[in-house]
Amino acid sequence: MRDIYALAAGFYPLVGSISNIEYETHRSSYGIAGSAATIANYYLNGEQPPVTSNLAGNISIYGRAFANEPGSISNEEEVDVLGTLNNANVEEHLKNTSNTVLGKYSMDLTEASRSPKGLLGRSLEEIDVDGFGGTERMARELNLMREGTTATPPDYIVKEYKGYKNVGFEVTRQALGTAGHAFQGSVVSKLAADIEKINDTHEGTEEDRYEKIAKAGLKRIKERYKSYNQIIAGITNKIKRDADGSVAYLKFERAMKDIRESDPATEAGKEARTIAFRNVAGKTTNYATNSALLHIQHNVAFINPLFDTYVIDEGAFAEYGPIMNFSGMAQRAYQFRVNAIDYEVLRGIFASDTIMDFNSVGVSAADVAEKKFSVHATKNMVKHGQVLNKGEFIKSVASRPSGTRKLIPSVAVTQADKDFREVIGKNLEPATKFIAAEALNDPSLISKLKNLIMKQSSQATIGETRTAWAQPYISAMTFKEQAYGSM
């Protein structure tokens, strides 16, 4: 699978002596909807906090005032400071940057080492383009969420999936074997050890290895849901049932909220979070963390079955489900039906490709992936709604929206065209998994890019003692890192 790349280059104003400018490279371990760096541009009238600029992407190379403490200017001087950008040519800066990166790849590509670190949080596949994206609103429209709940709906609602109607589909960039979502507590380290052993000892096809990893995940996720059931039982057993014999859901959700708001540092808080559950083996306890309580609420608040996905490898996912609960009328009110959970290995650019009808609209999974990344890269780097087409670049001018202390830097963005992708992709596969995780951290390339931003900057004298600079920066992001995390 070819990667897709977006490269940004631009300028932001910086107030301070050039002798005090530090040049840095910063990696964002999060990437999506985040910033690789935040720069303090200047103090306005000496007030805190300073006006700042965010540099989006997986990596940014930039300059900043020493200790990120720039000079101070007045409201009247701000016009002159922003004026330093008038002579800064973002198109030329981007072209020089792109040529430097392309030259580096064509000459020297090193093999990327695998890392157990995974990214958590929202998935790139949730971005909605041309009807291919999250459909959370359906959960509300079809009354699939329990009335009055404050929980968020699933990422997707699928009208029919594996024999079930109106199914919730949770997609994530979380790597299997890392903490987050259903995987919390001791099962995380156990599964990480399981996966490491499988990878070290497996002999056979890649598909067989994926099956073993997904099956190991099933064992551990069932362990986790059994412990969630202990927490649920401990809570519902303390709630008086209504006249019809049911445990009212909003009482259950309120009880979970009360526990979340308790202070675990106090004795009362510890007692609230240590939830007892009695079974044939006697009495066991399970400590209720806020993460566990929120995950329980999120799952139980959605009335219909859920399926969860996790990343095994780029283009390979483990799906677990159906995740279902007993009703509030049952003796085991709101507990998970653990025995019903099974696994499947999904293949595609996104896990959600399995539920998408691409043929109906005459597009491919690759088309949708490229479009999603274009929308995301454009919005994340340029902060407006244009869609970036491959081989093109768009630009915006630095500005500070009225009433804010956030300054949007100037930016020119390009998404690599076909030739650029082919040159890089042919050399990257299969040795190098992520451009931003390896090649853009290569010291020799970073040195060349730093030289680019150190050589071009326009300046203006502000008052008697201060200098304002049009400080260049470079940012980059890659589809694979945004979609799958750092594997």
Ordered by start, the domain boundaries in the chain are 5-114+362-484, 133-355
Q: 106-141 burial string, b = 16+ CB within 10 Å, else e? A: eeebeebeeeeebbeebbbbbbebeebbbbbebbee
With cut-offs at 50, 70 and 90, classify the pLDDT of residue 204. confident
**What pLDDT is stored for residue 16 in this prediction?**
83
The pLDDT value given to residue 274: 83
The reported pLDDT for the residue numbered 463 is 74
**According to the model, what pLDDT value does residue 34 have?**
56
What is the CB neighbour count within 10 angstroms for residue 280? Answer: 4
My answer on whether omega of the bond before 472 falls inside 30° of 0, hence cis, is no
Between 427 and 194, where is the model more confident?
Answer: 194
Task: Give the model's pLDDT for residue 318.
Answer: 93
Specify which of 49-58, 296-305, 414-423, 472-481 reaches the highest per-range mean pLDDT: 296-305
Please give the mean pLDDT across all residues of the chain: 74
Q: Is the pLDDT of residue 103 over 70?
A: no
Specify the pLDDT at position 303.
Answer: 93
Q: What is the pTM of this model?
A: 0.60
Mean pLDDT over 434-441 rounds to 44
Query: Dihedral (C-alpha) 217, 218, 221, 222: value to the nearest 10 degrees?
Result: -150
pLDDT in tens, 107-117: 433 322 222 33
Q: Among 74-88, 160-174, 208-222, which is the least confidently predicted range?
A: 74-88
* Distance (Å) of CA 33 to CA 147, 166, 182, 246, 381: 30, 29, 22, 41, 9
Q: How far is CA 45 from CA 52, 169, 316, 409, 469, in A?
A: 14, 50, 53, 20, 18
- Tell me what percent of the residues of the chain surpass a pLDDT of 90: 25
* 387-407 pLDDT, tens digit each: 444 444 444 555 666 666 666
* Minimum mean pLDDT range among 29-33, 173-177, 328-332, 406-410: 29-33
221 pLDDT tier (thresholds 50, 70, 90): very high
pLDDT (tens digit per residue) in 246-282: 999 999 999 999 998 888 888 888 888 887 554 434 4
Tens of pLDDT, residues 325-334: 999 999 999 9
Position 426 scores a pLDDT of 39
